[in-house]
Structure 1
Amino acid sequence: MRDRRFHLGWFTYFGQNAWNDPLGSGSEPWTGDLHLDLARAMERACFDYMLIEDTLSIPAVYKGSRETYLKHAIMVPKQDPVPLAAILGTATRNLGLVITLSTLAYKPFMLARLIATLDHMTRGRFGWNIVTTAEHASALNLGLTELPPRQLRYDMADEYVELVERLIGTWEPGAVVRDAATDTYADASKVHALNFEGRWYSSSGPLTTTPPPQGRPAYIQAGGSPRGRLFAATHADSVIASTTGIAGMKSYRDDIRRLAAGAGRNPDDIKVLSLIAPVVAETRAQAQEQYERALASPGYTERALALFSSFTDIDFSQFDLDAPLPPLTTNAEQGALDKFCQTQPGGSPSPKTLRQLVRDSGTTGALDLVGTPDDVADMMGDAMAQVGGDGFLIATPFHRLTRVYIDSICDGLVPALQRRGLARSAYTTTTLRQTLREF
């Protein structure tokens, strides 16, 4: 009988979360205290991993200006997630910790050393969210004259990941002997030069760090376009699915599994987690009221349009709010664009107006999950039964992380899932990759 449990992760970023809410990050923006509270609550609820998103520029897409982003603290400011991951690693013992690192931002040698180090520091619980960077402004910040085309970025990333793995492999198993009798720390015959010469990258090796506890850290990826899906299916241990509806969730998962099999992988080794943003309260009426109040808050439409402009490099201020969008494509996050526009099969745009699409994007999730913990748990269980697996990645609704929301999920929703046998009640493995393959 198939295990009914599914995996759970949390998607967040190290920045100003609900900065004007006393229960957000306003009084403690850069200490990491809010994220420490989140990590401890997640570990208590037996989540698989926390994923910390990152971008490398202040957006200036909406209305061609940074003003809206700075005024509302949209995607800015953000701190470097690497030190935060190290801090979270000392405060937890079981929770996986995944940070976003760009293949455009780091030399492969430096990234290999960094992720191996963090895997050691977290005792085998580290994951790398692999991104190729999709913002033109970030490319300029990194010294490039333009953002490479999406296809080329993924081609380069394939070689990049290969080099990172081969650098980690320059130390053979058993290279570290720690033999006091012969005063030998490492067997030099088992540590090798690499002399890698690829089309885009090169490195002589060997890596300066010892092999990490997991062999290599867990890989997380969010491929939305056809090329992105192929990259994710080829490399990732867990894939983030930004889709709409049960049919969309199932289609995406089936496609990833098909591509994984084509790449010679066991599809069961890849856990596809669909993005959701539940709104949970003591009663259904209270949950619905919270949802409606957030949608009606001053400036909500502008903030939402600015946010999706930053994801897609498309200025949505140019379109009529009460008319459908024309067909749109981007060199940025095509998957995010398709989800926001609710693109139909064959690539045709949704007949909904832009205003309706903004309202639909309110919880940013694959499903409308508004209700009591028991309501939402039942909906999640029904969805997973129809999709076939593998779990959910929780994103904060309306991008406002507060301690109240953390408690509503970790101490409200997850116990309801556990009572139904749908979520893990205890950790039984020691590394993140083992946790992802537990069921």
Structure 2
Amino acid sequence: MTRQMHLVGYCCITPTWHHNGAWRHPESDAVRPLDPERYENMARILERGKFDGMFIVDLMMLHDTYGGTFEPNLRQPGQTWMLEPLQVLAGVARVTSRLGLAATMSTSLYPPFHIARAFATLDHLSGGRAGWNCVTSTNDREIQNFGGDRLMEKGLRYDYADEVVEACHALWNTWEDGALVIDQKNGIFADPSKVHYANYQGKYVKTRGPLTTPRSPQGSPVIMQAGASDRGREFAARWAEVIFTLHSDTAHMKKFYDDVKSRVQNGGRDPNHCAILPSVDVVVGETDSIAQEKADYINSLVSAELGVAEVSNAIGVDLSAYPLDKPLEDMEITQGARGMMDIILQGSEGRTLRDVGYIWGVRQMAPQLIGSPTTVADSLCEMFEAQACDGFIICPSLTPTSYSQFVDMVVPELQRRGVYRKEYQGRTFREHLRQAL
């Protein structure tokens, strides 16, 4: 079978999450961020487009890095307050039947038993469509909301995360296949010989088990990961089945792709079992000029100042003391999340902090593809056929319009070219990802 492109829809349970001016657009559904139907409708659109999955980002704090206050992130709704994603996905599971359903949960904040039980439950409720976006957390304010003071030292967080994932797998494996017998005639509901203790003991983590949730349809959720640092890439090479990455152009995508795929292979895993999906923002119209008009209008709604606050949040450094119109390369910013900072610096020569804030507000440093279905498909296929990716995380400028227009206009063009599925071949999230990767 010809290599097939994989698509995952990006989402947050908050007003806006990728384009900070989208909530002001007259077509935006961001004015009802607490309505579950909003997210159910997005999921239906993605499933109609045969997407592999829907991926929900989560944060465990109100951002207050910029100026030491959360005021800029509440006055204008950037990626800020959020509902708990697994509960939302449990509802989404009832209105979909094929779409993978992935949510973020931090190894730094939650114990393995909670993580394992939560995702096993979602996997049951969805019939085998659960995915775990496995993150380590980068901001001390998150752990302070859980009663701690500081996160582990940066170099140890992935060591700890390795043990959390190992412990989760030990818990998921405490129930063998066929442990649930449900034999009414003979009065046997479960076979105790097929349920075991985990008794996992690591340097940092331990758990007894068994898990209180029977073995789920996939056995374990699909593992997603987004680490960009060297240690994050090592972690991804060991565990990730989907890597969500962020790059400004094809050259940087290709460099990341080749590096991580080689790490996966060197670690003894099949590189085809790790889909690398960079994020892209798409604005599509019937013609290139119509698409450009749409992009110009929605981009005019962006707040560059809010974008700078969001960059502060992303790298964990207060940028409020830096002049907005000073070139970025003239600033000595040595702290913060190194992987994210490297991404922000890609192609930033001559840009001011205000410029970077505007770009972040528009597309969070991902490429913004603007054009007709043919033009957008050309761009996607160019990156895909250059072996710079295995598909894409589709980040909508405007919800639900960006999703629906992509599904109705770009997906048929990709199908016509033979690089994207016309129908689902499997039922589970993992089966979708393994299809012709």
What TM-score comes out, normalization by structure 2 length?
0.93
* Conserved? CA contact 1:278–1:363, under 8 Å: no
Post-superposition CA distance 1:11-46 (Å, at most 9, x none): 110011344445333443212222111111111110
Alignment partners' CA distance in 2, 1:147 and 1:123: 35
Partner of residue 435 from structure 2, selected from 430, 433, 438: 438
* Conserved? CA contact 1:103–1:160, under 8 Å: yes
* Conserved? CA contact 1:294–1:300, under 8 Å: no
Aligned match of 2:333: 328
Change (3 A) 1:191 1:150: same
* Conserved? CA contact 2:2–2:418, under 8 Å: no
* Conserved? CA contact 1:246–1:367, under 8 Å: no
* Conserved? CA contact 1:9–1:50, under 8 Å: yes
Aligned match of 1:421: 418
Deviates more, 1:75-84 or 1:310-319: 310-319
* Conserved? CA contact 2:4–2:435, under 8 Å: no
Cα RMSD, aligned residues only: 1.9
Alignment partners' CA distance in 2, 1:396 and 1:341: 23
What is the one-letter code of the residue matched to 1:435? H
Alignment partners' CA distance in 2, 1:274 and 1:284: 23
Change (3 A) 1:252 1:327: farther
Aligned to 1:369, the other structure's residue is in SS state strand
Partner of residue 247 from structure 1, selected from 241, 248, 251: 251
Aligned match of 1:354: 353
Partner of residue 140 from structure 1, selected from 117, 121, 144: 144
Aligned to 2:86, the other structure's residue is in SS state helix
Deviates more, 1:360-369 or 1:189-198: 360-369
Change (3 A) 1:278 1:294: same
Alignment of 1:173-322 (within 5 A): 173-297=177-301, 300-320=303-323, 321-322=325-326
* Conserved? CA contact 1:275–1:364, under 8 Å: no
* Conserved? CA contact 1:159–1:200, under 8 Å: yes
* Conserved? CA contact 2:119–2:130, under 8 Å: yes
Aligned to 1:316, the other structure's residue is in SS state coil
Partner of residue 83 from structure 2, selected from 75, 79, 82: 79
Alignment partners' CA distance in 2, 1:131 and 1:323: 32
Aligned to 1:277, the other structure's residue is in SS state strand
Partner of residue 110 from structure 1, selected from 90, 114, 121: 114
Aligned match of 2:384: 384
Post-superposition CA distance 1:230-285 (Å, at most 9, x none): 11111011111111211111111111111111211111110000110011122222
Aligned match of 1:374: 374
**CA shift for structure 1 position 105:** 2.5
**CA shift for structure 1 position 177:** 2.2
Q: Percent identity, please.
A: 35
Change (3 A) 1:319 1:294: farther
Alignment partners' CA distance in 2, 1:351 and 1:286: 30
Partner of residue 161 from structure 2, selected from 132, 157, 167: 157
* Conserved? CA contact 1:273–1:392, under 8 Å: yes
Alignment partners' CA distance in 2, 1:113 and 1:173: 17
**CA shift for structure 1 position 178:** 2.4
1:48 is aligned to 2:47: no
Aligned residue pairs total 428
Alignment partners' CA distance in 1, 2:169 and 2:228: 24
**CA shift for structure 1 position 394:** 0.9
* Conserved? CA contact 2:281–2:396, under 8 Å: yes
Aligned match of 1:57: 61
What is the one-letter code of the residue matched to 1:187? D
**CA shift for structure 1 position 318:** 2.5
Change (3 A) 1:435 1:217: same
Identify unmatched segments of 5+ residues in structure 2.
17-21
Alignment partners' CA distance in 2, 1:181 and 1:118: 30
Alignment partners' CA distance in 2, 1:30 and 1:250: 38
Aligned match of 2:394: 394
Post-superposition CA distance 1:119-162 (Å, at most 9, x none): 00000011011111122211211211112232211110000000
Alignment of 1:94-109 (within 5 A): 94-109=98-113
Change (3 A) 1:181 1:329: farther
**CA shift for structure 1 position 364:** 3.0
